[in-house]
């Protein structure tokens, strides 16, 4: 019967995919499984975090599932992933929340299923979590506000206390970028010559940063410094600044110390960036998961060191 | 012989290909992972499908008329922000939700008027609204998420009357209503007629402009209902919510066998289409498949589903022309 044959032919690839996936997870059934859920996997920062986590999981004999929404702004999709991993009965969920408040219901669901949640890099909003009766086992990450302060202090020193500054904000309401901005503004607070003339969100994306920077250069052609809440945006801004022929005029500072940013700094195209250590975050997160599985206690906060790269 | 006839009748129904696809997917996942076919997980999947499922109802109406609505994702954000702001100002939940639904209907009606009175192609009108509504949501909320809502709203996401999660119950009720309207009412027949041949429908005395405008208002309303579900689920109203939902909704409609040319399709197919997408995402998460491969898999499923649907339909057409 031609219909059956056609259906069979069309269904084969789908089955092959499923069976391949099945085989892959089949031989590891005995290992305890933990999950790392990051904001997105199209940012080097989280790819590095994944690498650090994978290395640690391999050495400890843990099965690690890494998942992320396609877009960093997709809080609902991240919630779905967490819900699905709860159904998968993973032992620990290592979570980089896309939305510090929005993820709270998912954390509460994990709590109800007795799956410990470890937040990495970005905190869950403490007040919302308390109001919902949820809890997080520990937080592992950098002090982002301190990093923002370092970036601000660096610009004050480099430009002798006088500058017209443009700021590229992250996704509004995201805790990490907000903390960086807070720290950055705090560092400039006492210095009257340091003027923030434009502060616009570019949602942590490179192409948006390019466009926003182009627009800022139209309205404020005299800017001498630009602070971006992550390197992805800083790199987009660099291109826009270069396209406007102002590469020597504007000192650009980013955040995250990605490879591309480090390269731009060594080539003197970019002034500085703040180095976080995502690999170390991933490693510490998995070590913490292993301790939680054994029933050991962990500290409520585990800071990961940061530094200025110039 | 009779069983053969039954099989033939089932296969010839419009949704056959889609339902078959869903069954194959479920059986495959049931074999592949012990975590799929549990009551808790199936409830979880149904709940996750409610968000896109509800918008896809309005999208089905629009696509049946031969149109498209690209603004639904932005309308989710706008209606959500309206609900959030109303609650923040201390208005009761019922009033806040009513305002949100009103925002969706007004924006949808504007889409309809631009298309019918302004003769704009639906693609252009709703593309414009997509940007306007997103901008309005950002302006109203100052770009920030609004959060912390009363339990009376949260219950929309967390409650489970009759043991069914509230979002699933709401989605099923809305599908039943849409099915009734499309198959048992005159207005429903007009929706198909407009998509089949708009000019002929107009010449036969139907107020096409009115019915088309209502269809876009329905799509706006469906987006606003989705906004309510989303705000309740995340306990937060986000001006950047719903980005890309228009494409997920269109995918659910198309997987469900509704023709993008209009005039043929069904809302039950759309429900199955929305379920296929959530089952697939859920299964890939359960299997721990790489996030990159997941996007490939979803694209492949959309294409395969439509291929099967087209093949089945050709077969049905052939067999019916033979018997005639």
Give me the pLDDT at residue A214, please: 93
pLDDT band at residue B323 under the 50/70/90 scheme: very low
Dist CA A120 CA A98 (whole Å): 11
- Token pair in block for residue A218: 């139209």
The DSSP bridge partners found for residue A34 are: A64
**A115's tokens:** 């799956």
pLDDT band of B13, cuts 50, 70, 90: low
A123 has a pLDDT exceeding 80 = yes
Q: In what order do the strands lie in the sheet with A63-67?
A: A63-67, A33-37, A93-95, A117-120, A138-141, A301-303
Model pLDDT, residue B324: 39
pLDDT digits over B246-262, tens only?
999 999 999 998 988 89
Instruction: Name the residue among A14, A12, A75, A18 with its Cα closest to residue B284.
Output: A18
Chain B partners of A75 at a C-beta cutoff of 8 Å?
Answer: 234, 236, 238, 241
Chain A residues whose CB is inside 8 A of the B147 CB are 101-102, 128
- CA-only gyration radius of chain B, Å: 20
Distance from CA of B32 to the nearest CA of A (A): 5
- Please tell me the distance in Å from A9's CA to the nearest CA on chain B: 10
The verdict on a CB contact (< 8 Å) between B147 and A75 is no
Share of chain B above pLDDT 90, in %: 68
Dump pLDDT digits (tens) for A260-291.
999 999 999 999 999 988 999 999 999 999 99
Q: Identify which of B31, B41, B241 has the shortest CB distance to residue A87.
A: B41
pLDDT at residue B187, rounded to an integer = 95
Give the span between the Cα atoms of B58 and B76, in whole angstroms. 12
Q: What is the mean pLDDT of chain B?
A: 90
Q: Which residues of B touch A7 (CB under 8 A)?
A: 20, 308, 311
C-alpha torsion A251→A255→A256→A258, nearest 10 = -30
Q: Average pLDDT in the A81-101 region? A: 95
Mean pLDDT value across residues A55-63: 96
Name the residue facing B288 among A25, A89, A105 (closest C-beta). Answer: A25
Q: How confident is the model at residue B321 (pLDDT cuts 50, 70, 90)?
A: low
Q: Residue B2 has what pLDDT?
A: 56
pLDDT given for residue B319 in this prediction: 66
For residue A242, the SS3 value is helix
Candidates B43, B12, B15; CA nearest to B253 is: B15
Biggest alpha carbon distance in chain B?
Answer: 67
Q: Which of B40-44, B172-176, B319-323 has the highest mean pLDDT?
A: B172-176
The answer on pLDDT for A66 being more than 80 is: yes
What's the angle, vertex CA B185, arms to CA B183 and CA B189, rounded to 5? 65
Least Cα distance to A168 among A153, A150, A155, A180 occurs for: A180
Helix (H, G, I), strand (E, B), or coil: what is residue A187?
A: helix
Coil, strand or helix at A123: coil
Q: What is the pLDDT of residues A150-165, one digit of tens each?
A: 999 999 999 999 999 9
Q: Which residues of A touch B44 (CB under 8 A)?
A: 83-84, 87
- Which residue of A26, A37, A75 is the best one to mutate when testing the B interface, meaning the one whose CB has the most B CBs within 10 A? A75
Average pLDDT, whole number, for chain A? 89
Record the tokens describing residue A179, joined without a space: 């903390």
Q: Is the pLDDT of residue B33 over 50?
A: yes
Confidence of residue B10 (pLDDT cuts 50, 70, 90): low
Residue A14 has pLDDT above 60, yes or no: no
**Among candidate residues B91, B141, B104, B316, the one with its CA nearest the CA of residue B218:** B104
State whether A172 and B292 contact (CB < 8 Å): no
For the cut 70, the answer to whether the pLDDT of residue B223 exceeds it is yes
pLDDT, mean of residues B215-229: 97
Q: Give the closest of A65, A105, A203 to B233, CB-based.
A: A105
Q: How far is A233 from A273, CA to CA, in rounded Å? A: 12
Count other Cβ atoms within 10 Å, centred on residue B30.
Answer: 12
- Rounded to a whole number, what is the distance in Å from the CA of B262 to chain A's nearest CA? 26
Q: How far off is chain B from A85, nearest CA to CA, in Å?
A: 6
State the Cα–Cα distance between residues A133 and A236, nearest whole angstrom: 41
Rounded to whole angstroms, the maximal C-alpha distance in chain A is 82
Q: Higher model confidence: residue B201 or residue B161? A: B201
Q: Tell me, what's the pLDDT at A59?
A: 96
Nearest to A90 by CA among A31, A17, A22: A31
**B285: which chain A residues are within 8 Å (Cβ-Cβ)?**
67, 80-81, 84-85, 88
Tens-place pLDDT, residues A137-193: 999 998 899 999 999 999 999 999 999 999 999 987 778 899 999 999 999 998 999
| Residue B293, CA distances (Å) to A66, B184, B213, B299 in order | 12, 42, 40, 10
Is pLDDT of A15 > 80? Answer: no
Which phi-psi region, left, alpha or beta, contains residue A134 (left: φ > 0; alpha: ψ -120 to 50)?
A: beta
Alpha helices in chain A (DSSP H): 2-26, 44-60, 75-87, 104-112, 126-132, 144-158, 175-188, 206-219, 231-243, 259-266, 278-293
Residues 6+ apart with CB under 8 A from B262: B63, B64, B65, B66, B67, B194, B195, B196
Smallest Cα–Cα separation from A177: which of A226, A127, A130, A231?
A: A231
Q: What's the pLDDT score for residue A242?
A: 93
The 10s digit of each residue's pLDDT in B295-313 is 898 889 888 877 877 777 7
pLDDT at B309 (0 to 100): 72
The answer on pLDDT for A11 being more than 60 is no
pLDDT of residue A28: 46
Q: State pTM to two decimals.
A: 0.80
pLDDT of A30 over the 80 cut = no
Distance CA B238, CA B147 (A): 9
CA distance B13 to B320: 12
CB atoms B291 and A83 under 8 Å:
no
pLDDT of residue B15: 73
């Amino acid at each position: 019967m031609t219909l059956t044959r056609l259906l069979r032919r069309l269904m084969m690839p789908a089955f092959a995919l499923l069976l391949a996936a099945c085989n892959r997870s089949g031989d590891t059934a005995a290992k305890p499984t933990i999950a790392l859920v990051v904001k997105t996997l199209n940012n080097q920062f989280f790819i590095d975090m994944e690498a650090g986590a994978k290395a640690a999981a391999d050495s400890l004999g843990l099965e690690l599932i890494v998942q992320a929404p396609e877009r960093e702004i997709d809080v609902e999709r991240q919630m779905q992933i967490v819900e699905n991993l709860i159904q998968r009965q993973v032992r620990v969920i290592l979570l980089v929340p896309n939305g510090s408040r929005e993820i709270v219901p998912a954390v509460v669901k994990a709590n109800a299923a007795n799956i410990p949640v470890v937040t990495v890099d970005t905190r869950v909003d403490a007040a919302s979590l308390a109001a919902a009766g949820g809890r997080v086992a520990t937080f592992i990450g950098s002090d982002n506000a301190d990093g923002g302060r370092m970036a601000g202090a660096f610009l004050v020193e480099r430009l002798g206390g006088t500058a017209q500054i443009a700021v590229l904000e992250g996704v509004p309401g995201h805790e990490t970028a907000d903390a960086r901005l807070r720290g950055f503004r705090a560092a400039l607070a006492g210095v009257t010559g340091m003027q923030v003339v434009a502060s616009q969100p570019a949602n942590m994306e490179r192409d948006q940063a390019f466009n926003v920077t182009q627009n800022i250069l139209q309205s404020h052609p005299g800017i001498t410094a630009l602070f971006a809440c992550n390197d992805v945006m800083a790199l987009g801004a660099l291109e826009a600044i270069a396209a406007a022929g102002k590469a020597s005029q504007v000192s650009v500072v980013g955040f995250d110390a990605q490879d591309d940013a480090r390269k731009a700094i060594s080539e003197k195209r970019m002034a500085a960036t703040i180095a976080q250590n995502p690999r170390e975050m991933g490693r510490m997160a998995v070590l913490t998961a292993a301790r939680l599985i054994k029933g050991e206690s962990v500290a409520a906060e585990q800071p990961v060191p940061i530094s200025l790269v110039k | 012989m009779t069983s053969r006839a039954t099989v033939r009748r089932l296969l010839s129904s419009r949704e056959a290909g889609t339902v078959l696809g869903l069954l194959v997917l479920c059986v495959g996942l049931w074999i592949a992972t012990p975590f799929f076919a549990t009551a808790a997980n199936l409830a979880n999947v149904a709940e996750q499908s409610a968000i896109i499922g509800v918008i896809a109802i309005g999208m089905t109406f629009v696509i049946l008329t031969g149109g498209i609505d690209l603004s639904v994702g932005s309308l989710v954000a706008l209606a959500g922000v309206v609900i959030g702001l109303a609650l923040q100002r201390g208005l009761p939940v019922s009033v806040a939700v009513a305002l949100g639904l009103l925002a969706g209907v007004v924006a949808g009606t504007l889409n309809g008027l631009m298309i019918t009175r302004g003769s704009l192609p639906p693609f252009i009108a709703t593309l414009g609204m997509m940007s306007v509504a997103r901008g309005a949501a950002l302006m109203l909320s100052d770009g920030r998420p609004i959060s912390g809502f009363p339990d009376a709203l949260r219950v929309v996401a967390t409650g489970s009357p009759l043991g069914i999660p509230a979002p699933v119950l709401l989605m099923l009720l809305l599908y039943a209503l849409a099915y009734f309207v499309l198959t048992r009412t005159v207005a429903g027949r007009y929706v198909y007629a407009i998509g089949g041949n708009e000019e002929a429908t107009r010449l036969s005395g139907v107020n096409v402009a009115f019915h088309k405008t209502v269809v876009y208002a329905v799509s706006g309303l469906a987006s606003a209902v989705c906004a309510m579900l989303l705000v309740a689920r995340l306990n937060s109203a986000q001006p950047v919510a719903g980005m890309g939902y228009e494409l997920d909704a269109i995918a659910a409609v198309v997987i469900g066998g509704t023709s993008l040319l209009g005039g043929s399709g069904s809302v039950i197919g759309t429900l199955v289409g929305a379920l296929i997408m959530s089952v697939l995402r859920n299964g890939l998460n359960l299997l721990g498949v790489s996030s990159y491969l997941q996007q490939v898999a979803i694209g492949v499923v959309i294409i395969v589903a439509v291929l099967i649907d087209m093949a089945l339909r050709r077969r049905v057409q052939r067999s019916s022309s033979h018997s005639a």
